[in-house]
Structure 1
Amino acid sequence: MRLCIKNARHLEAPVDLLVDDNKIMTMTPAGHHAAPEGCEIFDACGLVLMPSLIDAHVHLREPGFEYKEDVASGLEAAARGGFGAVMCMANTKPVNDTASVTRHMLDRARQSHPHGPRLLPIAAATIGLKGETMAPLAELKEAGCVAVSNDGRPLENTELVRRIMEYGADLGLILIDHCEDPHLGRGWIMHEGDVSGLLGLKGQPPAGEALQAARDIMLAEYLDIPVHIAHVSAALTVDIIRWAKERGVKVSAETCPHYLLLDETALENYSTQSKVSPPLRTAHDREALREAVKTGIVDILVTDHAPHAAHEKDGTLDEAPCGFTGLDLALSLTWALVDEGVLTESDAHRLWCRRPAEIFGLPWNGFAPGDPADFFLFNPEEAWIPSRETMYSKSLNTPFLGQTLRGRVKHHWMGGRKLF
């Protein structure tokens, strides 16, 4: 089937897009060519045309924590947020450390969303995420895993990290590492600094993140093996990654929109909705991260979509779990940075599509002939308020709840098939 998207806007230019047999055929200036005979025509009416996004860090909670999120609700939130692929962390129950759990996740995705978005499991680095024994990575790779991580549990044993990196590299599985020294600021609630002191809350120093990132980078250089640093939050970590890249170390890194838009002052009212791991840090850290994503020192954006039930976030700061829901919100938050002039539309494509695909070896749509016809139409002007009525995730744990955001995905195609 042929499809022609007419009168769209791509990188500030009016364009038409022709799709044939689930692939991109051509993208041309609007009105440059007549639609082929028998082609289905869809008038975009000036909406922004973007490639389906890739989120390299989500928690879909199934199996085991379906009251927070399940594969069906998580993938629906992903589709509505513009995502064509999501890479799922292994902190399920049971942990994704066996092929049977991987296959269960993939089966659930095929049942609920057979035409996409794609669920891409991340293998547990260690059995039970306990940091003691390497998980059966070959078995997990064969079952469909695309990367390896110990999720939010720091890997303290450097020899074990080395073996995971080496074996993972042989299998084509890059290590995504949560960098945190668990002994620095143990029991932390927020960033360690002036605000934590004023609030009387235990803080986590940024050195805890930077120390573990430096260790991973030293291993990557010594072994000549790539490593990926998860959800960077601190300017000090950015400095270390910049130094490593200047030396030619095979390191990539991610951060999240909330680290580019918020800082530690979000906890001044003791809001559990602003508790996240790693914590929101200072305005200086935020500005350093903005510069890092703009210049490519930090390679990609991720949501770190971490849904929690309302009753879990309704407790005290001591008791409440860390994490924000993000799949529904990420594109609107990214566009806020575009509107502010921090990023461009082209930066958004790079951070959410091209670079994740390059780092993890995934297919992506650059709108070249033969690329997968995975794309969506986006209205950057449409205002909306995150709420139960407007979000598709089961959980509403976000500091942006009730705020007015701009930008909504209006239509989404995968493989040339319209999802909505």
Structure 2
Amino acid sequence: KPVFFHCEDEECLIQHKKTKLNLSDHMRFRPSICEEISIKKVIEDSKGFSTRVHICHVSSCEGLELLKNKPMNISFGVTPHHSLLYVEKDMGSQSLFKTNPPIRTSFDKESLFNSLKNGLADILESDHAPHTLEEKDVDFDEAPSGVPGVETLYPLFLFLAKKEVISFQRLISLLCVKPANLLGIPKGRLDKGSDADFLVVDLKNESRIKSENLHSRCGWTPFEDWLAIFPETVFIRGEKVIEDNEIQVKQGFGKFVGA
């Protein structure tokens, strides 16, 4: 079974801990060196073992540099919020976009997106954390970390693939093939013996992401008004579960998928 790591070194975080008032503070006081130290430890400690290791939500170009020559048993993921957003951008409410590891600079953002495009990154992952507006509407330092992202993951990147910013082949690998391979589950491909999970997409059907049209309990999205392409229909295990953005199955349809 794979082992998953959130790579921020605890001692390093304690050394840099200060009161944070905004996203720039959050980035400075959870610096990329804490991610670097942790990634180095994971790489070193995994040597000589065949256990699959996955490093979640890499957030910095320094972290990427360490992973360029990673061992075969190590994979890593990148999120939409780390690869599309950056701290210099005016994002409105600062506490809404607080997440760990932090959203970083435009240079980090570009490096992370390129890792998705060029095949260095293994998985595009949401790190979905649906804190409500009420939970986030407090002083920055007290606000919980994390942003919602599972429902906008595919639509954002389907639009980018249509615009040829990233290839459809890469998306299939990042979102389907490699996650299924990592977990060792019969998904991620249309093949005999695999679950019949697939999307039906009309690439002409572009729309703006609106929080009121999403299904998460949190009531907001970091990608409000971004252009996206939502699937027309979603099938899981051969059953139609979503059509025209409405859920078609009853609660309890889902099944636990263990690694």
**Band the TM-score falls in, shorter-chain normalisation:** 0.7 to 0.9
The answer for the alignment partner of 1:281 in structure 2 is 104
- How far the C-alpha of 1:365 sits from its partner, in A, is 4.2
The answer for the alignment partner of 1:254 in structure 2 is 77
The letter for the 2-side match of 1:326 is G
- CA deviations over 1:207-228 (Å, ceiling 9, x no partner): 1011101100111113343311
Q: How many Å separate the matches in 1 of 2:56 and 2:168?
A: 23
1:303 aligned to which of 126, 131, 134: 126
Q: How many Å separate the matches in 2 of 1:397 and 1:317?
A: 17
Q: Secondary structure at the match of 1:243?
A: coil
Q: Secondary structure at the match of 2:114?
A: helix
1:352 aligned to which of 170, 175, 181: 175
Is 1:417 the counterpart of 2:243 in the alignment? no
The answer for the alignment partner of 2:43 in structure 1 is 217
The letter for the 1-side match of 2:44 is M
Unaligned runs of 5+ in 2: 243-259
The letter for the 2-side match of 1:395 is C
1:271 aligned to which of 94, 97, 104: 94
Q: How many Å separate the matches in 2 of 1:284 and 1:176?
A: 26
Inter-CA distance 268–306: structure 2 relative to 1 (3 Å threshold): closer
Q: How many Å separate the matches in 2 of 1:268 and 1:303?
A: 19
The answer for the alignment partner of 2:114 in structure 1 is 291
1:186 aligned to which of 10, 13, 17: 17
Listed as ranges, the matches of 1:58-207 within 5 Å are 173-184=1-12, 185-187=16-18, 189=20, 196=24, 203-207=29-33
- How far the C-alpha of 1:201 sits from its partner, in A, is 8.0
1:383 aligned to which of 207, 229, 243: 207
Q: Secondary structure at the match of 1:285?
A: helix
Q: How many Å separate the matches in 1 of 2:171 and 2:149?
A: 16
Q: Secondary structure at the match of 1:307?
A: coil
- How far the C-alpha of 1:340 sits from its partner, in A, is 4.6
If you compute each CA radius of gyration, which structure gives the higher value, 1 or 2?
1
The answer for the alignment partner of 2:228 in structure 1 is 406
2:191 aligned to which of 357, 362, 368: 368
Q: Secondary structure at the match of 1:326?
A: coil
TM-score of the pair, normalised by structure 2: 0.83
Unaligned runs of 5+ in 1: 1-172
Inter-CA distance 188–225: structure 2 relative to 1 (3 Å threshold): farther
Inter-CA distance 348–268: structure 2 relative to 1 (3 Å threshold): closer
Q: Secondary structure at the match of 1:419?
A: strand
- How far the C-alpha of 1:371 sits from its partner, in A, is 3.2
The answer for the alignment partner of 1:338 in structure 2 is 161
- CA deviations over 1:83-134 (Å, ceiling 9, x no partner): xxxxxxxxxxxxxxxxxxxxxxxxxxxxxxxxxxxxxxxxxxxxxxxxxxxx
Is contact 1:275–1:321 with CA below 8 Å preserved after alignment?
Answer: yes
- How far the C-alpha of 1:205 sits from its partner, in A, is 1.1
Is contact 2:155–2:231 with CA below 8 Å preserved after alignment?
Answer: no
Q: What is the CA RMSD across the aligned residues, in angstroms? A: 2.4
Inter-CA distance 391–231: structure 2 relative to 1 (3 Å threshold): same
Q: How many Å separate the matches in 1 of 2:155 and 2:163?
A: 12
Is 1:324 the counterpart of 2:144 in the alignment? no
Q: Secondary structure at the match of 2:130?
A: coil
The letter for the 2-side match of 1:296 is G
Inter-CA distance 249–373: structure 2 relative to 1 (3 Å threshold): closer
Aligned residues: 238
The letter for the 2-side match of 1:186 is K
The letter for the 1-side match of 2:35 is E
- How far the C-alpha of 1:269 sits from its partner, in A, is 4.7
Inter-CA distance 203–398: structure 2 relative to 1 (3 Å threshold): farther
Q: Secondary structure at the match of 1:212?
A: helix
Q: Secondary structure at the match of 2:232?
A: strand
Is contact 1:226–1:250 with CA below 8 Å preserved after alignment?
Answer: yes
2:65 aligned to which of 229, 239, 249: 239
Decide which structure has greater strand share: 1
Q: Secondary structure at the match of 2:199?
A: strand
- How far the C-alpha of 1:266 sits from its partner, in A, is 3.7
Percent identity among equivalent residues?
A: 29
- How far the C-alpha of 1:229 sits from its partner, in A, is 0.4
The letter for the 1-side match of 2:126 is T
The letter for the 1-side match of 2:99 is V
2:216 aligned to which of 393, 400, 419: 393
Q: Which has the higher contact order (CA 8 A, sep 6+)?
A: 1
Is contact 1:266–1:274 with CA below 8 Å preserved after alignment?
Answer: no
Q: How many Å separate the matches in 1 of 2:173 and 2:21?
A: 30
Q: Secondary structure at the match of 1:264?
A: coil
